[in-house]
Chain A
Amino acid sequence: MPRVTLVVISYEMARELPRTLLSLSPSYQGLSAGDYEIIVVDNASRVPPRAEDFATLNADLKVLRCTRPTHSPVNAINEGLAHAKAGLVGVWIDGARMASPGLVRAALAAAALHPRPVVATLNYQLGPELQRISSAQGYDRALEDGLLESIGWPMDGYRLFEIATPEMRGGPQAAMLESNGLFLPRALWDELGGYDAAFDEPGGGVVNPDTLIRAVALPGTQLVRILGEGTFHQVHGGLSTSTQDRALAMLKQASKVYLRLRGKPLVPVRQRGWTYDSRSGEVAR
């Protein structure tokens, strides 16, 4: 039985998904294939990924096609959650996000700190600026490929930090809007009811922030932020990272939907919670 399941959502990510899955592979993460399973749920790509394309990763990896695809990833996520076998499940709402090499081990260690843990990893974006800004300055897939080559990726995955920009400008303990790699015990995902299908906008709007907010609001849960690891967004024309104007318009509209659905404004998670430093093993409570 795997100890952790990773649910990775893909949509038109032929360039990005292979790198993401390589970064989640056992050899990159320093784990054995039996420790975890990877479930890719494709949300109706024109040319869906196939499990056999990733056979060389030697991972316990399956590729599912979402049976009820929409322009929101919610159905795909919830189908992935339904197939997850492990006691700890991490959701990758965006399959274009590569991981640092100790992320899965850190999630397991952080989750072991509390009976009802909400383990959040920090989001980074490849490139010299947030991609909604750098894209307007010429940052594109070719430049990104060059950046990855410049650090010799995947030889030392921690060098991703050298070519990336943190999404949380206030530091790792600042208000957190969302976490791409969000890990909860299976039972907490059930308690939460997975991702909320009411967020049916393209990209799911702010369903990922909503999920984090609802998770930390569950009784008795403990937020644990992982330091020293991260997920790294590859540029791919996603809704929230494509251009500044598009990103602002998307967030503004999504915040209105959130207000209507939840009856309150969207407020990033301000509680600092605990931190688990994957490099030192230090826990700050």
Chain B
Amino acid sequence: MNDPGNIDPALLKDWMVKYICGVLGLDRASFSTADRFDVYGLDSVEAVIMAGVMEEEFQVVVDPHQFFDTPSVDEFVAAFTAPPG
């Protein structure tokens, strides 16, 4: 497993945008990474599924609760890739 702190935040953000837009059928051009997940209809079940897919993609451990604690792409990426401590 990789250390989340080693993931390029821009890469993770891009992946999340692509994933969410793909799943929800949204236009990437108008997608705001500052919006809460529930604003564009990503529910808790789909957030948990995204955690699993993210683990496969980046070989990291993703606690689904993190999506609930930091409920936007911007907030999640910042918290997830931040150095520990």
Contact = CB atoms under 8 A, between A and B. Distances in A.
A259 B56 contact: yes
A77 B22 CA distance: 32
B56 A268 contact: no
How many of chain B's residues touch chain A, expressed as a range?
10 to 19
A268 B53 contact: no
Interface stretch (B1-9, B28-36, B40-48, B74-82): B40-48
Nearest to A260: B56
Nearest to B23: A267
Interface residues of A, number: 18
Contacts, number: 49
B64 A252 contact: yes
Contact of B48 (A169, A251, A270): A251
A248 B52 CA distance: 10
B23 A251 contact: no
A248 B64 contact: yes
B49 A266 contact: yes
A251 B53 contact: no
Contacts of A265: 19, 22-23, 49-50, 53
Interface string A258-283: 01100001111010000000000000
A177 interface: yes
B73 interface: no
Contacts of A253: 52
A115 interface: no
B52 A170 contact: no
Nearest to B64: A248
A252 B43 contact: no
Given A256-B53, A267-B46, 8 more contacts: A175-B46, A252-B51, A252-B64, A255-B52, A259-B53, A265-B22, A265-B53, A267-B23
7 contacts: A170-B41, A175-B46, A248-B65, A255-B49, A255-B52, A256-B56, A267-B23
Query: Which 5 pairs of residues, A with B, have the shortest CB-CB distance?
Result: A255-B52, A255-B49, A252-B52, A256-B52, A251-B48
